[in-house]
Amino acid sequence: MRSPQVLIVDDERNLVNSLVYGLRAHAIRAEGAYDGASGLTAALRLEPDLVLIDLRLPDESGIEVLGKLRERLPDMPVVMISAYGETRVAVEAVKKGAEDFLTKPFDLDELVHLIRRATEHGRLSQEVRYHRRQSVDQDGLLGASDAVATLRERIATVARSNTRTVLLLGESGTGKALVARAIHNQSTVADGPFVEINCAALPESLLEAELFGAEKGAYTGADHRRPGLAQLADGGTLLLDEIGELPLHLQAKLLHFIENRSFRPVGAARERVTDVRVVAATNRDIEAEARDGRFRADLFYRLNVVPLVVPRLAERGGDIGILALHFAEQIAGAENCQPVTFSPEATAMLEGYGWPGNVRELKNLVERLTILYPGADIQPGHLPAEFGAAEQSGEAGLLDARLASTERDILLRALSQAGGQKGRAAAALGISRHALKRRLQRLGLQ
């Protein structure tokens, strides 16, 4: 992996030269510029991983330079450098698109940590954009793992085929409905309707009418004729989610519908004909249930012509960081806030987790983190306790826990002695206020 590159825009030449020298000692390439115009030119030439901009420059304000960078290089991370007392202006810069701000004087370790985080975030952002471009035709099946690549190939093959039935197998939360829509959108019936029914969401008494329709007066409350979803899906795709929950007597009618492309609405005197592709999805082992008589064997064999297994999230090595960042941007848009990012340590913990709830569980976690810590750089301390269970095993885990506990005690004692004022506590500890804030966030202390 190439070394990160940083551009420092500040008219204090001694500070710039000192930072350039210090960052290079940490294998970080760095260059300096001393006013807004030359800083903008250098940023366009270098396209660095991070730009540090002082709020006060000789020719224009740092916020003006930030605005120009946002127009020309909208995805480039920018951190503002502010002097003591300029915090309000720095916060305004963050609202206008800066990643963060540092207050002078700041320590080098803090800056190195920030650069590493921004570089990792930028790498993941590039991967998300790349895989979004690659997966336009796959309807957002985001990921770079071998498991997802194989699934994409199978989707394309099935979508182009003439098969009338597809069986999707996989645990709950893996995205079977997304795969079904991808099959539809890549098929010859993509312009037709895509209709979905969850067989577990409706009472058995209403399921047949929902699926095949009903005539007026067919049952109590049927005051008008209603078409079924099988008819509404004519010329397109019908997704039967949770097919394993379909009652046995309806399984027989479904088999007749698949084989003959005809069905009889509840209370109707004659059958109607429709032309649909049926995609059935389940998280159950319906082959075993067919052997045990809990699912019709003839329907299972009819559905099982082209089975597709949707992989578990834990089997999608390398996709978790990409998906987490994708959900963070998506949820931040809905919440109207800055997206969370994930430190390398937190990302490693996510990738080491078993994910029993699969992609749905990951999305729910990112939503929770976004609501609790909007715009934060997520550290291990922000994650629920279950994510640290594996990491806390063994002597290394015990040592980490003891070190974290000791650091927590030191920080809380300093805050207590400073009357809760972070600036005074940071001065007593010999670190910057911003460094104290980051340590508090990492340990989950608010």
What are the pLDDT digits (tens) for 307-358? 999 999 988 877 888 899 889 988 988 888 888 888 878 888 888 888 999 9
Residue 65 Ramachandran class (φ > 0 left, ψ -120 to 50 alpha, else beta) = alpha
Q: What is the pLDDT of residue 166?
A: 95
Choosing among 3.30.70.20, 1.10.3720.10, 1.10.8.60, 1.10.260.40, the CATH entry for 315-442 is: 1.10.8.60
**203 HSE (CA, 13 A, CB side):** 2
The answer to whether domain 5-106 and domain 315-442 are alike in fold is no
Q: Mean pLDDT lowest for which of 95-99, 233-237, 367-371, 396-400?
A: 396-400
Which pLDDT score, from 0 to 100, does residue 56 have? 87
% of the chain at pLDDT higher than 70: 86
Residue 397 to residues 262, 281, 343, Cα–Cα distance (Å): 62, 41, 19
Predicted local confidence at residue 220, as pLDDT: 59
Residue 263 has pLDDT above 90, yes or no: no
Question: Comparing 128 with 155, which gets the higher pLDDT?
Answer: 155
Largest CA distance in the chain: 91
Q: How confident is the model at residue 361 (pLDDT cuts 50, 70, 90)?
A: very high
**Predicted pLDDT at 8:** 93
Query: Please, which residues bridge with residue 56 across strands?
Result: 61
Task: Select the more confidently predicted residue: 27 or 402.
Answer: 27
Q: Average pLDDT in the 194-218 region?
A: 83
At residue 137, does pLDDT exceed 50?
A: no
Most confident of 224-228, 302-306, 436-440: 302-306
- Confidence label for 140 from pLDDT (cuts 50, 70 and 90): low
pLDDT at 365 exceeding the cut of 50: yes
CATH code: domain 146-310 is 3.40.50.300
Residue 413 backbone phi and psi in degrees, to 5: -65, -45
DSSP type of residue 236: S
CA 305 to chain centre: 33
Closest CA to 154 of 177, 195, 183, 125: 183
Please determine, for residue 398, whether its predicted confidence score (pLDDT) is greater than 70. Answer: no
The whole-number pLDDT of residue 122 equals 63
CATH number assigned to the domain with residue range 5-106, chosen from the 4 options 3.40.50.620, 2.40.128.690, 3.40.50.300, 3.40.50.2300? 3.40.50.2300
Indicate the residue type of 441.
Q
Residue 395's pLDDT is: 41
Kindly report which listed range (89-98, 133-142, 214-223, 411-420) carries the lowest average pLDDT score: 133-142
The yes-or-no verdict on residue 115 having pLDDT over 50 is yes
Contact 408, 443 (CB under 8 A): yes
pLDDT of 392 over the 50 cut? no
**Is pLDDT at 404 greater than 70 in this prediction?**
no
Whether 394 has a pLDDT exceeding 50, the answer reads: no
371 neighbors 433 (Cβ within 8 angstroms): no
Per-residue pLDDT averaged across 173-185, rounded?
92
User: Which one is predicted more confidently, 133 or 22?
Assistant: 22
Is beta strand 213-214 parallel, antiparallel or unpaired with respect to 226-227?
antiparallel
Confidence class for position 302, pLDDT limits 50, 70, 90: very high
Phi first, then psi, for residue 251 (nearest 5°) are -60, -40
pLDDT interval class at 218 (50, 70, 90): low
Q: Answer positive or negative: Cα dihedral of 126, 130, 133, 139.
A: negative
Q: Given pLDDT bands bounded at 50, 70 and 90, which one contains residue 136?
A: very low
Question: Where in the chain are the domains?
Answer: 5-106, 146-310, 315-442
